[in-house]
A and B are shown apart, each in its own frame.
Chain A
Amino acid sequence: MGQNAGGKGGVTGSHGDAPLFEARGISKSFGDVAANKNISLKVHSGEILALLGENGAGKSTFVKMTDGVLRPDSGAFFWNGKQITIKSPAAAKRIGIGMIFQHFSSFEALTVLENLALALPQRSLRAIRRDVAEVSERYGLSINPKRRVERLSAGEKQRVEIVRALLQKPKLLILDEPTSVLTPQEADGLFATLDSLAADGMAMIYISHRLNEIKELCDSATILRHGEVVGSCDPRSTSVPEIAEMMIGKTADPIDRAGAYVGGPRLVVDNLSVPAKEGVSLKKISFSARRGEIMGIAGIAGEGQDTLFAALSGERRTPKAKSIKIDDQPIGAMGPTSRRRKGIAFAPEQRLGHAAIADFSLSDNLRLTRHAMREFSNRKRRAQSLKIREDYDVRSSANDPKAGTLSGGNLQKFVIGRELDRQPDVFIVAQPTWGVDAGAASSIRNKLLSVAERGGTVVVISQDLDEIFQIADRVAVLHRGELSLTHLVDDMTPDKIGMLMSGEDINSVSKDAIAQNFTRKRATRITETQEETSPAETRITDEQVKDPTQREAPASVVQTPQPAISPVITSSSMTSSITPPPSKPASQPSQKSTPARRIFVSGNVSTPWTAPEIIQKGTVL
């Protein structure tokens, strides 16, 4: 893995010599679970090494050991060829290892300068202030040292983290999922910074699951799966699907998207303003979600998603009841239980503590959102919970386990299953696949699609653009508590959404135009998809990934333009009787339907946002 180091940054370092940092045979177990098994890797000065792996592959465990937070059970680290023991984070810093964590490790109540001073005990405040100015200017990281960290945006907080790491003048910088909270533009800025750091000779270990970022940035890649190194490659010469297959070892369930039928507006949010208790206030938010569609609400972290979810779920009553209507009935003044009785279901972002109680069994957790439902029988809840676990593939060892003992992916499947098992008309979900593994993510996304397919309405509040592109029909972007106009997903590119995320206006069509355009667009979408050539829109199926002979698949999916009007589904019971959309390709019987919404990306794609769907963002271990 280290052999093809250097190059990109310009400074190739001394590759004949020992690598700057090397791990040999690192293993770490928690109880019976082996989080890391015999991991070895090397990184040279000026090299950016990608550490790739699914959630739970052991990346974070490994990183914690390099930072001295955890200690390996066996194996050793080497620094310039000499064996080192990393006893503590402080020791790691003395050695020259800097960390940028996935979750900010800054102190919210302190100012930026105080945060930096904590990390730099030897330097005077004045010297730090001067250094901050210098580093900020050199690498384009502007921050105001006097502000309290709690008042910064996620991007700004990360800048603080980076500046903090840089002020310690590390020789090796480890970045754990640094782009997960950034807009595409902010991420580009970060890459420029990292490139110039590499050019200055810094070694980096870059942890991510976004393969396009890796291709853009990294000189070499080491891939982890189930705690083991399963391979290494040069990401610049290896295709994204190849890397993806190494990461997950198998292909995940494909996302199937039959041509759906869209009806009239079901959930209408009209000029919704909610002052925030904590976080961001909502300002005059308007959107509508229709029968049979998935409405995506994109936006980077902390732009008002929490308040919006609370307002939609009824945890916050809206100041005006009419701000939220379902089937023309105002529901803004109702609490969650009354809204559930109207056929709405909710799944919040936070699995433990919001959607489920860790110390409760699953059957008890089932009661949390069902206690007032007529369809829910208290006596039968164990049986119901078992049924949900079977239907939604929730894996656990115990019979009726406590929610806290499930892995993130399994718990999320249970939470989604708990809500969808009620067959809700409207489903509002925040970050449905945050931090869950690839298999669980695609299964959850398929479930969401099936809600829309049977005529239900889904509102997905997600920070994951890949997810939005993959499952949503229309999208609007939250920025500082304001919602952009709604756009057809097919009209959008990651760049355009990125601009909306940072509050810029794009040359947008008016809402009316979109509405008129909508049905026609949908009926002909599949055809358009086949013709699309722009890299961001390139879609291939995973069958195609596996079977190179089918790479030319689009040509085989022959179809004729569809009529401009789509039928309207009025009840979910009709779904089964509807004939499949005529656009379904008869030539490929093996495929359940045309994978119009699958975003699989061919190897030469350059945009950072279109990673294969099988790879998810989220917390690792």
Chain B
Amino acid sequence: MEPFLIAVIVAATPFLYAATGELVAERSGVLNLGVEGMMLLGAVAAFVTALTTGSSGLGILAGAAAGAAGALLFVIVALGFSANQAATGLALTIFGAGASGLIGQGYVGEALKPLPKFQAPEQLAEFTGVRILFNHDVLVYGAFALIVVVWLYLNFTRSGLRLRAVGDDHHSAQALGLGVLRIRSLAVLFGGACAGIGGAYLSLAYTPLWAEDMTAGRGWIALALVVFASWRPLRIVFGALIFAAFDQAGNYRETLNIEIPSQFLSMAPYLATIIALVLISMASRRSDTPACLGREFRPDR
């Protein structure tokens, strides 16, 4: 059980980054379906940088920058030129897959030293809980910290309030003098950087090597996770752990004596998301679904 729980926390980390970033973008009213592509860009950039410079810190930064660069493309096309957001996001995913494959071409088969992990103090290491929670690398803790920060930001700061306002009603926001496109661009770039770090985690720590399409659909799970969390940051933690548990249950089927086919387990996150969507639309109380999600905005002038 213990290795399984450790594996769940580790597997949840890329979901946490990518989903938190996407949540911020979506709360501002932008649906960026390019998460998978941005994660791949982040993964390859982080791997190549860490390998050539020998610094995993620089690798993480490069991953964030590459994810943000992918998001910048999205910003230019979908926000700058008011192109359809869904189509732009899909294009970004395909572009990210291709570009990352091209960049990583010469690096397939190379291996990196994984990110160093914290060591629990010896006196405490005998407790199972401590071993599960305190033997991780910096990105794992960063992911949880990030969510708390985003939660505080969205709910308790003026800037976060403006971001939510833009996602709720962009015309009213413009009438109030808020820079709708500026706020959305920044939110999408933040989302891209987060997705990039999520990708970097995969190539620097999770499986410290580069392989084409190594994200294996995690970007899509992250998108589903935002819906599953009904656009609330703290619920993402819960959702990411559940989705990661589904993901890892396949690997631990024998040790855990799980009879369920692994194909069902990999389908489960999406099934859970569909159920969450149904529950959201059945609830009489309005959810935090951003009312302007995915709607293009052209300032009238």
Contact = CB atoms under 8 A, between A and B. Distances in A.
B177 A89 contact: yes
A426 B206 CA distance: 69
A118 B114 CA distance: 45
B291 A114 contact: no
Nearest to B156: A125
A70 B172 contact: no
A178 to B, nearest CB: 16
Interface in A80-137: 88-91, 93, 99, 101, 105-110, 114, 117-119, 121
A429 B110 CA distance: 72
Given A105-B176, A114-B161, A70 B301 contact: yes
Given A107-B172, A119-B176, A150 B161 contact: no
A150 B178 CA distance: 21
A101 B175 contact: yes
Nearest to A68: B177
B164 A110 contact: yes
Contacts of A71: 301
Contacts of B176: 89-90, 105, 118-119
Interface residues of A, number: 23
A67 B175 contact: yes
Contact of A108 (B158, B161, B169, B178): B169
A93 B164 CA distance: 22
- Residue among B171, B176, B300 with the most chain A CB within 10 A? B176
A405 B177 CA distance: 30
Given A118-B161, A118-B176, A109 B288 contact: yes
A496 B173 CA distance: 39
Contacts of B169: 105, 107-108
Interface string B267-301: 00000000000000000001010110000000011
B161 A110 contact: yes
Contact of A117 (B158, B173, B174): B158
Interface in B118-169: 158, 161-162, 164-165, 168-169
A557 interface: no
B199 to A, nearest CB: 32
A109 B161 CA distance: 11
Contacts of A109: 164, 168, 286, 288, 290-291
Contacts of B164: 107, 109-110
B288 A88 contact: no
A303 B61 CA distance: 55
Nearest to A91: B177
Interface residues of B, number: 21
A108 B162 CA distance: 13
Contacts, number: 57
Interface in A53-97: 67, 69-71, 88-91, 93
Contact of B177 (A93, A108, A114): A93
Given A108-B291, A109-B291, A121-B158, A88 B165 contact: no
Contacts of B165: 107, 110, 114, 118
B184 to A, nearest CB: 15
A70 B300 CA distance: 7
A118 B286 contact: no
A204 B286 CA distance: 37
- Residue among A67, A88, A119 with the most chain B CB within 10 A? A88
Contacts of B171: 105
A245 to B, nearest CB: 33
B299 to A, nearest CB: 9
Given A107-B168, A109-B164, A109-B168, A118 B178 contact: yes
Given A89-B175, A93-B177, A108-B291, A117 B161 contact: yes
Contacts of A70: 300-301
A110 B176 CA distance: 14
A90 B177 CA distance: 5
Contacts of A108: 168-169, 286, 291
A67 B172 CA distance: 13
A105 B168 contact: no
A600 to B, nearest CB: 37
A105 B175 CA distance: 7
A122 to B, nearest CB: 10
Contacts of B175: 67, 69, 89, 99, 101, 105
Contact of A105 (B172, B288, B290): B172
A95 to B, nearest CB: 12
Contacts of A105: 169, 171-172, 175-176
Contact of B162 (A88, A99, A106, A118): A118
Given A110-B168, A117-B161, A88 B291 contact: no
A116 to B, nearest CB: 11
B27 to A, nearest CB: 10
B183 to A, nearest CB: 12
Contacts of A117: 158, 161
Contacts of B178: 118
Contacts of B177: 88-91, 93
Nearest to A92: B177
Contact of A69 (B158, B161, B162, B300): B300
Given A108-B291, A109-B286, A117-B158, A69 B174 contact: yes
Contacts of A89: 174-177
Contacts of B168: 107-110
A493 B175 CA distance: 38
Contacts of A67: 175
Nearest to A115: B165
Contacts of B161: 110, 114, 117-118
B23 to A, nearest CB: 15
A101 B175 CA distance: 10
A601 to B, nearest CB: 35
A89 B178 CA distance: 9
A71 B300 CA distance: 10
A107 to B, nearest CB: 5
B301 A150 contact: no
Q: Which 7 A-B pairs have the closest CB atoms?
A: A90-B177, A105-B172, A89-B177, A109-B168, A107-B168, A105-B175, A107-B165
8 contacts: A70-B300, A89-B176, A90-B177, A91-B177, A105-B175, A107-B165, A117-B158, A118-B161
Interface of B: 158, 161-162, 164-165, 168-169, 171-178, 286, 288, 290-291, 300-301
Given A108-B169, A109-B288, A118-B176, 14 more contacts: A71-B301, A89-B174, A91-B177, A106-B172, A107-B168, A108-B286, A109-B164, A109-B286, A109-B290, A109-B291, A110-B164, A114-B165, A118-B162, A121-B158
